[in-house]
Chain A
């Protein structure tokens, strides 16, 4: 287990910018890292995502507007804010999941290691191979535990012994000991927390670069939540993780950076649009935020 993790850690640099290929086009490879700007906190890492004035519309109304910030490599970035502020909308832009919603349109630029995810020649299937996703409600396939894990590697045509791939993914998600004797049973027989860890294991099995988690613990009890948070901290050194959460303690416990979203009403006060108020190191957001709205929210005065 430990050996395995160290081995994977060594792979990490290779999985970064130079190897990325979303298409035949090979443009400017990486956004410039901002080294040493904030010496007190840990050094700025290379950006895995750079959001530049991202606006997402459903139909004509913007759901989120003018979002600009960078998401660092092998960090946990939390998106927090009240309901309806567009956190889920934004996270779904990062692996082109919004393509599945008719009428959704993304403006601005979403750069992934410097590549525009919404360029005309980008294949969303290629994007999602690299950027995995875990959803709010556990959504195992109505198949066996084994087949749930093997689904991704099979559709991607991954080489190697499938039994090993499945075992590695389940061990990685700290689920192996609980399910090793019933790999062939239906995944629906697991508890909710186990199902969610299965979904994480399933995402890990395809060896992604980034894992997006859209409120992964909102349907789970505190014990299962704790297990998933431990898992995220375990995975942090190898993967870039973006998590949407309503649970501020969770954001404070697990994330390195936090983006605080809020809702703005338009002139006639009918349409709600999400904006980012503040994006910074999590410690700063929770202890010394620069915006009074952030302070009001994180101290529980509103929202």
Chain B
């Protein structure tokens, strides 16, 4: 008996499996959601394309080897010099100092909140910590320049610290990214199933052993993600490094002196009245492209790491 014959069999009411009415709302919502997803994709694509375009023009004027491996950055001088390494080291040094500050403090706060704090304490402290992330970075910048450098660093180390210096900028950027590390790491550790903690306590583990040997490794992928995100923020941070770190490129590692970073150079050059199409204008894009590539590599690394070490409990 074929399907149509069966449907028409006597005594059986007719069955319709079609929708009672078309679901237009469903289609509209779907369209809006697709649009929302594509706006960010298109923005990223547009940024990359504009960077690439100007960077190609720039590299037509300046040999790529001189740009990437030169150690003197003086694009506005006469004769100009386009060695970007001092900006790269400035950026990486500030980022490294920031992470040296943010990693222990941020992870310490995360471990305390997730494993040691009573629920009431956690509910109070975590929002305050996250509030720190909402303070505008320019406030951090002036805090570094007008308080941290003169009152703390110069009081401790005297004349070896100049008023614009990489150390102050790096430390304050570190404070700036503590909430990023603490909040995401705390989420990752809180997500570790309680059954794992119980298992470890049941074997006679102390609180510290359970935390460091079970909870921390189980949350490692989230913790590393928080650190990479913090590093990306530190490398991309502009205001603090421009205000407190100064604008003097340095090919060296003297932390007491000014060290211009890539972001500080871009912001400072972009705010001046430089002519569109001039060589100074093009350097902004070339440095921006390089910065984009550095953060891209860091993000790719973090995605791979997180995928490799992600634990699925179940």
Q: How far is the CA of A8 from the CA of B198 in the complex (A)?
A: 28
> Is A102 an interface position by the 8 A CB rule?
yes
The interface residues of chain A lying within 8 Å CB-to-CB of B197 are: 100
Q: A135-B195, A139-B196 are in contact. Are A155 and B201 (CB under 8 A)?
A: no
The interface residues of chain A lying within 8 Å CB-to-CB of B205 are: 125, 128, 151-152, 155
B219, chain A: closest CB distance, angstroms: 10
- Residues of B191-212 contacting chain A, CB below 8 A: 193-206, 209
Q: How far is the CA of A170 from the CA of B218 in the complex (A)?
A: 23
Q: Choose the segment among A59-67, A173-181, A198-206, A293-301 that binds chain B (4+ C-beta atoms closer than 8 Å).
A: A198-206
| Contact status B198-A156, CB under 8 Å | no
CB nearest neighbor in A for B209: A155
> Is A259 an interface position by the 8 A CB rule?
no
The interface residues of chain A lying within 8 Å CB-to-CB of B206 are: 125, 155
CB nearest neighbor in B for A124: B201
| Contact status B201-A100, CB under 8 Å | yes
Q: How far is the CA of A128 from the CA of B213 in the complex (A)?
A: 17
Range for the number of chain A residues in contact with chain B: 20 to 34
| Contact status B196-A141, CB under 8 Å | yes
| Contact status B204-A206, CB under 8 Å | yes
Q: A151-B200, A155-B213 are in contact. Are A142 and B119 (CB under 8 A)?
A: no
CB nearest neighbor in A for B205: A155
| Contact status A142-B195, CB under 8 Å | no
> Is B96 an interface position by the 8 A CB rule?
no
CB nearest neighbor in A for B199: A139
Chain B, residues 160-199, CB within 8 Å of chain A (1/0): the string is 0000000000000000000000000000000001111111
Q: A137-B195, A143-B217 are in contact. Are A97 and B203 (CB under 8 A)?
A: no
- Residues of B6-61 contacting chain A, CB below 8 A: none
Q: Which of B119, B195, B202, B218 contacts A132 (CB 8 A)?
A: B202
- Residues of A109-163 contacting chain B, CB below 8 A: 125-126, 128-129, 132-135, 137, 139-143, 151-152, 154-156
A150, chain B: closest CB distance, angstroms: 11
> Is B118 an interface position by the 8 A CB rule?
yes
Q: Which of B119, B202, B218 contacts A97 (CB 8 A)?
A: B202
Q: How far is the CA of A203 from the CA of B205 in the complex (A)?
A: 12
CB nearest neighbor in A for B214: A141
The interface residues of chain B lying within 8 Å CB-to-CB of A202 are: 199, 203
> Is B77 an interface position by the 8 A CB rule?
no
B119, chain A: closest CB distance, angstroms: 7
- Residues of B264-314 contacting chain A, CB below 8 A: 311-313
| Contact status B204-A135, CB under 8 Å | no
The interface residues of chain A lying within 8 Å CB-to-CB of B201 are: 97, 100, 128
Chain A, residues 193-235, CB within 8 Å of chain B (1/0): the string is 0000001001100100000000000000000000000000000
B111, chain A: closest CB distance, angstroms: 17
> Is A95 an interface position by the 8 A CB rule?
yes
The interface residues of chain B lying within 8 Å CB-to-CB of A125 are: 204-206
| Contact status A206-B218, CB under 8 Å | no
Q: How far is the CA of A131 from the CA of B296 in the complex (A)?
A: 51
The interface residues of chain A lying within 8 Å CB-to-CB of B200 are: 141, 151, 155
Q: How far is the CA of A199 from the CA of B204 in the complex (A)?
A: 14
The interface residues of chain B lying within 8 Å CB-to-CB of A102 are: 118-119
The interface residues of chain A lying within 8 Å CB-to-CB of B217 are: 142-143
Q: A102-B119, A155-B209, A155-B213 are in contact. Are A128 and B198 (CB under 8 A)?
A: no
CB nearest neighbor in B for A148: B199
Q: How far is the CA of A113 from the CA of B210 in the complex (A)?
A: 27
| Contact status A100-B198, CB under 8 Å | yes
CB nearest neighbor in A for B220: A142
B275, chain A: closest CB distance, angstroms: 58
CB nearest neighbor in B for A205: B203
The interface residues of chain A lying within 8 Å CB-to-CB of B213 are: 151, 154-155
B116, chain A: closest CB distance, angstroms: 13
Most buried by A among B203, B206, B209, B214: B203
Q: How far is the CA of A154 from the CA of B203 in the complex (A)?
A: 10
Query: Can you list 19 A-B pairs with a CB-CB distance of less than 8 A?
Result: A95-B202, A125-B205, A128-B201, A128-B203, A128-B204, A128-B205, A129-B204, A139-B195, A139-B196, A139-B199, A141-B200, A141-B214, A141-B218, A151-B200, A151-B214, A155-B200, A155-B205, A188-B312, A203-B202
Please provide the 5 A-B residue pairs with the shortest distance between their CB atoms, ordered closest to farther.
A129-B204, A133-B202, A152-B203, A139-B195, A142-B311
